[in-house]
Amino acid sequence: MYVGRERPTGGFEVFAWFFMRISGVVLILLVLGHLAIMHVLNTVDEIDFEFVAARWGSPFWRTYDLVMLWLAWLHGLNGLRMVIDDYVHRKGWRAVTLTALALVGFVLLAMGTQIILTFEAPTSRVTAGLP
Amino acid sequence: MYRGREGMWSWILHRVTGLGILLFLAIHIVDIYLLGWPDVFNKLLFLYRHPVFRVAEVFLVAAVLYHALNGIRILLVDFWVEGTRLHRQIFWAQVVLFLLIWIPTSLLMLSPVVFGR
């Protein structure tokens, strides 16, 4: 008996099966660390633009956030793909939902990657447009 | 019998928490993208600072914690010889571990909301 999804026998599905498990283990460390720092030790009372700008001054946290974004987003998208596989059987609807998933998936991953890689802390509050 | 037992509930919860986390992650990517407009970013923070979100945030942590612990259980069943035989015991150990971590964490997170700073 399997508790998780039964291990597939070939092709992309085997890759996906292993990806879910490997990314899952890495994400446990990255996400629990992220939650502890950003939601428990600090809270939204402290976090604002200046907080994130200072944090992203460090290449370590940028890399951390980028790796976490890619793994979490792909892990989640593949999970939703399996949910669609389970519940959407009509051929037309499958094409529509899977295409929408791929499009939204690509756009949001591109947005997240762009802001992490290209964000530049403003040199002053004035250039940032802040009071 | 699979239906109605621990195996079914852990599976349903894994799905529901996974979908919930994915939805939040999508919103979170959009809010972080707004860092490109610092004044807009700071002005919209009132949404996340609202008490309703602070309570929702505690449930977000619950979803992540459950999904993480249940993920470990899935790995144990998939890769550990004894995992399949013990999967029910592992499930209940997971429930206890969840409560031991989540209850104090929630109190820590909500105390500034309830008592102020």
Please report, as a single letter, which amino acid is at residue A45.
D
In chain B, how many H helices and how many E strands?
Answer: 4, 0
pLDDT of residue B6: 76
ipTM computed for the complex = 0.90
Pairwise CB contact (< 8 Å): A52 & B35: yes
Residues of chain A numbered 32-61 and touching chain B (CB < 8 Å): 32, 35, 39-40, 43-45, 47-49, 52-53
Residues of chain B contacting A4 with CB distance shorter than 8 Å: 74-75, 77-78
Residue recorded with tokens 């986390």 = B21
Structural domains in chain B, sorted by start: 6-112 (1.20.1300.10)
| Mean pLDDT across chain B | 91
All domains in chain A, ordered by first residue: 12-118 (1.20.1300.10)
Mean pLDDT, consecutive 10-residue stretches, chain A (131 aa), reads 69 93 97 95 92 95 98 98 94 96 98 96 72 71
Distance CA B66, CA B98 (A): 7
Two tokens, residue A122? 């403003």
CB-CB neighbours of B80 under 10 Å: 12
pLDDT by residue for chain B (117 residues), tens only, comes to 456 677 788 899 999 999 999 999 999 999 999 999 999 999 999 999 999 999 999 999 999 999 999 999 999 988 888 878 888 888 889 999 999 999 999 999 998 888 875
CA gap B24, B30 in Å, rounded: 10
A122 touches chain B (CB under 8 A): yes
Alpha helices in B2-37 (DSSP H): 6-33
